[in-house]
Amino acid sequence: MKGADYLECLLTKGKQRIKGEVRVNGAKNAAVAILPASLLTEGAVRIDNLPKITDIGRLVEILKALGAKVTFSEGRCIYIDSSDVHTFSPPPSLVNTFRASYYLMGVLLGRFGKVEIPMPGGCDLGPRPIDQHIKGFTALGAQVELEQGLVKIKAKKLRGAHIYLDVVSVGATINIMLAAVKAEGKTVIENAAKEPEIVDVANFLNAMGAHVVGAGTDVIKIQGVSELGQAEHTVIPDRIEAGTFMIAAAATRGEALVKDIIPKHLDPVIAKLREVGVQLEVGPDWVKVNGNSELCPVDVKTFPYPGFPTDLQAPMMVLLTQAPGISFLTENVFEGRFRHVDELKKMGARIKLGGRTAIIEGGHELISAPLRAMDLRGGAAFIIAGLISHGETIITGVEHIDRGYEQIEERFQQLGVSVERRIISKVFPGK
């Protein structure tokens, strides 16, 4: 019943305590690179533990539009055969809708020596340049032109190079890896990002027959190969999704068992939550959160892995509104990643912004207010805010949340709280 006069929203009841357990799905930020990477081989690949989120759905449409044969099997498994892919220009209408489409640059350049693709879209976290991606492609011997919003890249032959990234960038690190695995000779990426998702992508590339060593450190070495073969791969668990549920349990003063995770990937989050006073028990592939304790104000600084993840900055901000006293939250990765602050202030959150630092006066109740999500992590934070506030909260912009969280309302229902997806009339919002 959607249409111009209706919009989808999430409705949360306030003053709820999480009590339950939830399984964590495959990592969005690994899967959105691994799917395009399957185009690097003419062999068939099998990828398991894919999250059922819209970014993945869009990528599958792009792969099909490029000529790949894609079949889903039971559960979360996909088979991709890209032997018939012969075009280097994905459909702009599909590519424009999300940022991770930039991985098609590295992949199509690596496969065909040529790619034409619109500048990447994505959520608004401030400027999101791709100069480091282009620096890497150029170093590998490609010519790059930006023409009316189109990125045109071509290379007679990609040759290994020594690339020193000016900025620690997840996207640039992965994109250069994708272009380099079939380049002639050796590539070294210095000042590389170290996120677990980068390791997962490298493991997938090596499963196809690439020679990537050092992923997860700040120096990655790639020995080019002439061709890649078949592979099977299971995507790692999503540490950001896991952290979101952990923070939600803490903020609602509830208890949660978050399962099927790699605890090591959550070290910075576990450490910081313990500093806040949250009790956590860590198992081999799970973590138990007990938020039923006094919360203390803390100083949080986001940094590239293994620092505190920028993708949990917004959910953490909501938790810190409940810790009596003054907390500081500094966003060191994206300069524009405070768009959720104004929405939270509508709920009575006492937050002051000073440059890259948010100063949070915690310990005051939030009052429900209509919230509009503008990016997926801010949207997830609004769900947490809705669960702890006084009254019912309507959250619009659900399409942002669905990009990175599978069936978010059902996952929170598994955790014992009421989050519902509704269709409301734009004309008569109350209906």
Mind telling me the catalytic residues? 123
Minimum CB separation of residue 424 from ligand EPZ in Å reads 26
Nearer to ligand EPZ by C-beta: 242 or 323? 242
Nearer to ligand EPZ by C-beta: 108 or 151? 151
Nearer to ligand EPZ by C-beta: 133 or 255? 133
Minimum CB separation of residue 366 from ligand EPZ in Å reads 23
Closest CB to ligand EPZ: residue number:
171
CA distance 104 to 102: 5
Query: Pattern of binders to ligand EPZ over 321-360, x per CB under 6 A?
Result: ------------xx--------------------------
Using the rule CB under 6 A, give the single segment among 125-133, 200-208, 283-291, 413-421 that binds ligand EPZ.
125-133
Nearer to ligand EPZ by C-beta: 340 or 377? 377
Nearer to ligand EPZ by C-beta: 302 or 327? 302
Question: Which pair of tokens denotes residue 128?
Answer: 């999101």
Between helices 131-139 and 103-112, what is the axis angle to 10°?
10
Minimum CB separation of residue 423 from ligand EPZ in Å reads 26
Query: Pattern of binders to ligand EPZ over 182-221, x per CB under 6 A?
Result: -----------x----------------------------
Minimum CB separation of residue 397 from ligand EPZ in Å reads 14
CA distance 351 to 344: 8
Minimum CB separation of residue 364 from ligand EPZ in Å reads 27
Using the rule CB under 6 A, give the single segment among 65-73, 146-154, 164-172, 382-390 that binds ligand EPZ.
164-172
Minimum CB separation of residue 86 from ligand EPZ in Å reads 26
Residue 265 in the binding site for ligand EPZ (CB under 6 A):
no
Q: For 44, list phi and psi in degrees, rounded to 5.
A: -85, 145
Minimum CB separation of residue 177 from ligand EPZ in Å reads 13
Query: Pattern of binders to ligand EPZ over 361-390, x per CB under 6 A?
Result: ---------------xx-------------
Nearer to ligand EPZ by C-beta: 146 or 167? 167
Amino acid at site 273: L
Task: Give a three-class secondary structure readout of the chain.
Answer: CCECCEEEEEEECCCCCCEEEEECCECHHHHHHHHHHHHHCCCEEEEECCCCCHHHHHHHHHHHHCCCEEEECCCCCEEEECCCCCCCCCCHHHHCCCHHHHHHHHHHHHHHCEEEEECCCCCCCCCCCCHHHHHHHHHCCCEEEEECCEEEEECCCCECCEEECCCCCHHHHHHHHHHHCCCECEEEEECCCCCHHHHHHHHHHHHCCCEEECECECEEEEECCCCCCCEEEECCECHHHHHHHHHHHHHCCCEEEEECCCHHHHHHHHHHHHHHCCEEEECCCEEEEECCCCCCCCEEEECCCCCECHHHHHHHHHHHCCCCEEEEEEECCCCCCCCHHHHHHHCCCEEEEECCEEEEEECCCCECCCEECCCHHHHHHHHHHHHHCECCEEEECHHHHHHHCCCHHHHHHHCCCCEEEEEEECCCCCC
Contact call for residues 100 and 37 (beta carbons, < 8 A): no
Contact call for residues 256 and 288 (beta carbons, < 8 A): yes
What CA–CA distances, in Å, run from 118 to 86, 96, 115, 316, 396?
19, 7, 10, 34, 28
Query: Pattern of binders to ligand EPZ over 286-325, x per CB under 6 A?
Result: ------------------------xx--------------
Using the rule CB under 6 A, give the single segment among 124-132, 177-185, 279-287, 379-387 that binds ligand EPZ.
124-132
Minimum CB separation of residue 51 from ligand EPZ in Å reads 11
# binding residues, ligand EPZ (CB under 6 A): 25
Nearer to ligand EPZ by C-beta: 122 or 391? 122
Report the site for ligand EPZ in 68-107 (rule: CB under 6 A): 99-100
Residue 57 in the binding site for ligand EPZ (CB under 6 A):
no
Query: Pattern of binders to ligand EPZ over 386-425, x per CB under 6 A?
Result: ------------------x---------------------
Q: Under the rule (CB under 6 A), what is the footprint of ligand EPZ?
A: 28-29, 32, 99-100, 127-133, 167, 169-172, 193, 310-311, 333-334, 376-377, 404
